[in-house]
């Protein structure tokens, strides 16, 4: 995909597009302001001391902090961002093919089915946000006690001494997540259409770039070699992401001819493009969310009075919380889960599209394949084969910080933060590239809708 500047001057010439861009920018600025509002009851002196320790600056919380735009390390009201909504959305999508009644409801009335999905995704986001907030607070307190000997926030929902403050911070953090979701929906409705939540995540990720760049320059011993290596890695990674994300397998399809008067036109040759990576970033987000649960659950038991139980769950929390270069087990599990979820989620999405029946309804067929179920089976086989490439690619993108850490260690190069070599995480880079590409395509479509034929993008 190449970019041309021939259509850029139309962005401000069109009043409607200019208004949408300004609304989008304004709402993103509001989101970044809100992301710096701290949660109530946090002891900021302890939080600062905790952040200055190795436990607070890296590992599990460092990974979350990079994806959240710094809101986790600041213990902001928006620490969880919009990820509870995304998790709820994934759960609803996975339940539809499992429960026949839901699948039938979607097929009978797709428009009403989408409304039902959106409604219940919002409902499910509230408990998901509350559970995430409880887990995040417990993990912060557990790691803070290990690092500085004191919790950041005294928390106990049913302890008379802390219940009022605990319920207040829980409600505030849950409301913060729903506020972020609301801003995303406003962007989708009044700004760049359909890109609200993606742009909210994008804003959080890129907000960390200046701080990570400053951290990279502060390393006087390896400053220049890391700067060169960062540039090379980012350029190569972006090229690989764009190449794979744009990858298609064009399956030949014959469409029936049309009757014009008393004559029948010849069948029309066409193609059905199957994407190499149909699932996008969802497997990475889903695998990350699943891998957070053991650390969150273990955080409830690290203060158990039984020393053996406490040590066991402390080990579980450290295993799933320490994402350093020495934790081979964590990254291996992460890679496998990303590959598995890519296949699983792609299968769910592909089955919902039901190409076999849809092609049969319009009289089209794949040459040499029977229509209906045999066509669906053939296309599923083709999709599975090309998905293997996309799944392995996503797996390597997910574990690239670990691989780079091993590589740097082999050359005796010590970096303060191996994920910082991307200025954002490799997973975050995949999100950024995807959001930028989709945003350009949406703006390009808006320009053409308003009658401007010069395109922003040339494929």
pLDDT tens across 151-171, in order? 888 888 887 888 888 898 899
Q: What is the pLDDT of residues 265-297, one digit of tens each?
A: 667 788 888 888 888 777 877 777 777 777 777
252 and 105 in a common domain: no
Q: Which of 421, 379, 47, 103 is nearest to 234 (CA)?
A: 421
Evaluate whether residue 414 is within a structural domain.
yes
CA atoms of 70 and 205, how far apart (whole Å): 8
Largest CA distance in the chain: 88
Give the helix/strand (H/E) hosting 269. Answer: strand 268-275
More confident residue, 332 or 302: 332
- Per-chain mean pLDDT for the chain: 77
pLDDT given for residue 414 in this prediction? 57
For residue 274, the cross-strand partners are 249
Count of structural domains, the chain: 2
Sign of the CA dihedral 292, 390, 433, 397?
positive
> Which CATH number does the domain housing residue 34 bear?
1.10.3370.10
247 and 137 in a common domain: no
Domain span at 351: 220-257+267-424
81 backbone φψ class: left, alpha, beta (φ>0; ψ -120 to 50): left
Per DSSP, the three-state class of 272 is strand
For residue 252, the cross-strand partners are 271
**Across residues 242-262, what is the average pLDDT?**
79
Under 8 Å between Cβ of 160 and 172? no
More confident residue, 186 or 16: 186
233 and 184 in a common domain: no
82 and 21 in a common domain: yes
Residue 324 pLDDT > 70, yes or no?
A: no
Evaluate whether residue 448 is within a structural domain.
no
239 and 177 in a common domain: no
Place of tokens 């190499």: 276
Under 8 Å between Cβ of 3 and 457? yes
pLDDT given for residue 175 in this prediction? 92
Evaluate whether residue 331 is within a structural domain.
yes
Evaluate whether residue 454 is within a structural domain.
no
250 and 159 in a common domain: no
Residue 260 pLDDT > 70, yes or no?
A: no
Per DSSP, the three-state class of 334 is helix
CA atoms of 363 and 355, how far apart (whole Å): 12
Under 8 Å between Cβ of 430 and 241? yes
DSSP code per residue over 46-82: HHHHHHTSHHHHSHHHHHHHHHHTSTTTTTBTTTTTT
454 backbone φψ class: left, alpha, beta (φ>0; ψ -120 to 50): beta
Q: Which of 78-87, 250-259, 386-395, 422-431 has the lowest mean pLDDT?
A: 422-431
CA atoms of 241 and 396, how far apart (whole Å): 11
279 and 394 in a common domain: yes
For residue 271, the cross-strand partners are 252
Residue 3 pLDDT > 70, yes or no?
A: no
198 and 229 in a common domain: no
Evaluate whether residue 196 is within a structural domain.
yes
pLDDT given for residue 97 in this prediction? 75
Evaluate whether residue 412 is within a structural domain.
yes
List for the chain the helix, strand, coil content (%; round to 5).
70, 5, 25
**Phi, psi of 268, rounded to the nearest 5 degrees:** -105, 130
Evaluate whether residue 141 is within a structural domain.
yes
Q: Could you tell me the pLDDT band of residue 79, with boundaries at 50, 70 and 90?
A: confident
CA atoms of 250 and 418, how far apart (whole Å): 38
Evaluate whether residue 290 is within a structural domain.
yes
**Residue 98's CB: how many other CB atoms inside 10 A?**
9
pLDDT given for residue 13 in this prediction? 72
**Across residues 393-421, what is the average pLDDT?**
69
More confident residue, 10 or 341: 341
232 and 198 in a common domain: no
């Amino acid at each position: 995909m190449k970019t041309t500047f021939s259509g850029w001057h139309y962005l401000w010439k069109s009043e409607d597009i200019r208004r949408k861009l300004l609304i989008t920018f304004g709402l993103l600025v509001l989101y970044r302001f809100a992301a710096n509002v701290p949660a109530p009851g946090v002891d900021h002196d302890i939080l600062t001391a905790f952040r200055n320790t190795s436990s607070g600056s890296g590992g599990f919380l460092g990974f979350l902090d990079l994806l959240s735009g710094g809101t986790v390390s600041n213990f902001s009201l928006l620490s969880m961002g919009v990820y509870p909504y995304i998790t709820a959305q994934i759960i609803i999508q996975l339940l539809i093919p499992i429960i026949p009644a839901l699948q039938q409801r979607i097929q009978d009335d797709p428009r009403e089915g989408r409304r039902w999905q959106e409604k219940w995704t919002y409902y499910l986001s509230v408990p998901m946000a509350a559970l995430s907030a409880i887990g995040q607070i417990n993990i912060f307190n557990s790691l803070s006690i290990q690092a500085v000997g004191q919790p950041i926030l005294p928390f106990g929902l049913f302890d008379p001494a802390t219940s009022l403050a605990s319920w207040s911070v829980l409600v505030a953090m849950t409301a913060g997540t729903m506020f972020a979701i609301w801003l995303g929906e406003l962007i989708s409705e009044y700004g760049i259409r359909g890109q609200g939540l993606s742009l909210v995540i994008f804003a959080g990720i890129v907000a960390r770039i200046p701080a990570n760049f400053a951290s990279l320059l502060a390393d006087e011993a390896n400053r220049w070699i890391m700067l060169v290596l960062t540039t090379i890695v980012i350029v190569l990674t972006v090229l690989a992401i764009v190449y794979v994300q744009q990858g298609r397998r064009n399956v030949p399809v014959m469409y029936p001819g049309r009757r014009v008067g008393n004559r029948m036109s010849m069948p029309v040759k066409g193609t059905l493009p199957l994407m190499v990576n149909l699932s996008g970033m969802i497997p990475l987000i889903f695998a990350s969310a699943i891998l957070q649960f053991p650390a969150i659950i273990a955080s409830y038991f690290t203060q158990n009075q039984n020393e053996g139980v406490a040590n066991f769950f402390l080990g579980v929390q450290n295993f799933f919380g320490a994402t350093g270069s020495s934790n081979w087990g964590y990254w291996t599990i992460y890679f496998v889960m990303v590959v598995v979820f890519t296949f699983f989620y792609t299968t769910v999405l592909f089955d919902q599209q039901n190409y076999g029946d849809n092609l049969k309804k319009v009289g089209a067929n794949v040459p040499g394949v029977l229509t209906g179920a045999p066509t669906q089976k053939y296309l599923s086989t083709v999709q599975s084969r090309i998905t293997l490439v996309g799944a392995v690619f996503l797996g390597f993108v997910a574990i690239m910080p670990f691989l780079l850490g091993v590589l740097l260690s082999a050359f005796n190069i010590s970096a303060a933060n191996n994920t910082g070599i991307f200025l954002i995480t490799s997973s975050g880079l995949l999100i950024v590239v995807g959001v930028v590409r989709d945003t350009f395509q949406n703006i390009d479509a808006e320009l053409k809708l308003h009658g401007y034929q010069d395109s922003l993008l040339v494929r």
